[in-house]
Each structure stands twice: as structure tokens, then as C-alpha cells.
């Protein structure tokens, strides 16, 4: 049967396109494949660039192969490192101002404070003339602990918020301070069926949920900075 040349060319182009689609892999699959290959080879340099978690062969085994079964819709949350950095700096400033006032009071009442501390160590009664200082010094010490805890909490919150942004955007040739950027953290979950050779040389099939995250930031001048997808969690 005669087939027009143009129709034959269209059919061939369609066949090639379908073939290419069938051979291509999802970006999530490529990243996860690179991750398990690097884990198997103990390639820590590659792992540091693409993941924040480990899948140690000596503990969890070696993923021989896997199939990607689903990828969730992207979720987004604000990247709040800049906000937390400002809060941390404010907490430090408040603590510093408090410390200056506490030191001034201590300098003015050093003799009484030393007598109070000695009485506390000896578990004896504080002299009547020093009781007012004792009450004040108890308050000063309690407030000192409160300020220290506030600074510690602010530091921890900032450190935790920086982690994904720094890992996603890290570049040895162009390091940045993510606390100077606004933006979002995008995340999605990929579910895979994996064949795993366990440390005791058994083979088992595992369903693993792999969390991927990426920082999408904006500098003060409005220029965008999109990080790379990294693996931040593996459940299963």
C-alpha cells in the first residue's frame, strides 16, 4: 500500500519521540540512583553534595536496584533563616545589655554578694543587712539563666533553619550566607520499591519514602538563587 512520504516521516518522528520518552528517567529517579550508587561506593564527596542523610551499607545494606512508584506534589514553606538571624541578634543584644546592668550591680554590691554566697555555701543564715541584696541577687541569677536560654534557643532555631538552604545552595567557589536571603524551601516525596542486600547477605524488598528538598531564594537586589534538589530523609 502506498504511504505518502510526509506521513512516513511523521510516523518515524513519533516513534523516535516515544522511544526517547520511554528511555528517559525522572529527575527524582536520577538523583536517587546517584545517591544509592555513591552510598554503595562510599563516595562521601558525592554524597555531601546531594544528601543530608546516609544509607550506610554496614547498617542498612546495599540497594541493588529500585523502581520509582510515585512522586508527590511539591510542598512549600518559607525559608525563615533571615528572620531567625535577626531574632538571634536581638536576643544576643538584650543579653549583653542585661549582663552590663548585672555587672554594674555586682560591682556596687560586691562585698554583700560575697557574704551572701558564703552563707549559701555554708548553709547558714544571711545577715539581716544583706537580705535585700540576697533577694536581688537571686533575681539577677534567675534572669541571667533566662537570657542564656533565650539566646541558646534562638541559636538552635537559626542553625536548624539554615541547614537545608545551605546544603541545597552550597558551592565552594561561591559560598553564601543564606540568612541574607528571603525565599522558600520546596519539598516532595518519592516512593520507591527497592531490592536491598542486607549486611547479613540476605535480599529483601523494601518500600522507601525519600524526601527531597530544594532552596529557592531571592537576594536583597531581587536576583534569584535556586539551589539543587537534595535528599534530606529516607523512611522505610
Q: Where are the domains of the chain?
A: 25-79+181-235, 81-163
Specify whether the CB–CB gap between 172 and 45 falls below 8 A. no
SS3 percent helix, strand, coil of the chain, rounded to 5, is 55, 25, 20
Q: What pLDDT sits at residue 62?
A: 95
* DSSP structural state of residue 43: -
Q: What is the pLDDT of residue 26?
A: 87
What SS3 class is residue 190?
strand
According to the model, what pLDDT value does residue 6 have? Answer: 40
What CA–CA distance (Å, rounded) separates 192 from 212? Answer: 13
Question: What's the rounded Cα separation, in Å, for the pair 178 and 164?
Answer: 10
Q: How far apart are CA 37 and CA 44, in angstroms?
A: 11
The whole-model pTM stands at: 0.78
* pLDDT number for residue 191: 98
C-alpha cell at 33: 540512583
Give phi and psi for 188, each to the nearest 5. Answer: -155, 160
Going 36 to 41 to 47 to 53, the CA torsion angle's sign is: positive
| pLDDT tens digits in sequence order for the chain, 236 residues long | 444 434 333 333 333 333 333 445 689 999 999 999 999 999 999 999 999 999 999 999 999 999 999 999 999 999 999 999 999 999 999 999 999 999 999 999 999 999 999 999 999 999 999 999 999 999 999 999 999 999 999 999 999 999 999 999 999 898 999 999 999 999 999 999 999 999 999 999 999 999 999 999 999 899 999 999 999 999 98
Q: What is the CATH number of domain 25-79+181-235?
A: 3.10.450
User: Reduced to 3 states, what is the DSSP secondary structure of residue 13?
Assistant: helix
Given this model, what pLDDT does residue 7 score? 37
Amino acid at each position: 500500500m502506498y504511504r505518502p512520504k510526509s506521513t512516513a516521516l511523521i510516523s518515524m518522528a513519533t516513534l523516535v519521540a516515544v522511544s526517547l520518552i520511554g528511555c528517559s528517567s525522572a529527575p527524582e529517579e536520577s538523583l536517587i540512583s546517584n545517591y544509592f550508587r555513591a552510598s554503595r561506593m562510599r563516595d562521601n564527596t558525592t554524597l555531601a553534595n546531594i544528601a543530608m542523610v546516609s544509607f550506610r551499607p554496614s547498617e542498612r545494606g546495599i540497594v541493588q536496584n529500585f523502581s520509582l512508584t510515585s512522586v508527590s506534589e511539591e510542598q512549600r514553606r518559607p525559608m525563615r533563616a533571615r528572620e531567625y538571624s535577626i531574632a538571634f541578634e536581638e536576643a544576643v543584644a538584650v543579653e549583653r545589655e542585661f549582663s552590663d546592668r548585672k555587672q554594674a550591680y555586682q560591682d556596687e554590691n560586691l562585698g554583700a554578694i560575697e557574704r551572701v554566697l558564703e552563707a549559701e555555701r555554708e548553709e547558714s543564715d544571711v545577715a539581716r543587712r544583706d537580705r535585700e541584696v540576697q533577694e536581688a541577687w537571686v533575681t539577677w541569677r534567675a534572669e541571667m539563666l533566662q537570657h542564656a536560654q533565650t539566646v541558646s534557643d534562638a541559636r538552635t532555631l537559626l542553625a536548624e533553619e539554615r541547614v537545608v538552604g545551605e546544603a541545597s545552595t552550597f558551592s565552594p567557589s561561591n559560598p553564601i550566607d543564606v540568612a541574607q536571603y528571603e525565599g522558600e524551601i520546596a519539598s516532595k516525596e518519592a516512593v520507591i520499591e527497592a531490592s536491598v542486600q542486607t549486611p547479613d547477605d540476605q535480599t529483601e524488598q523494601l518500600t522507601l519514602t525519600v524526601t527531597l528538598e530544594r532552596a529557592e531564594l531571592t537576594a536583597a537586589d531581587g536576583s534569584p538563587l535556586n539551589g539543587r534538589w537534595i535528599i534530606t530523609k529516607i523512611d522505610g
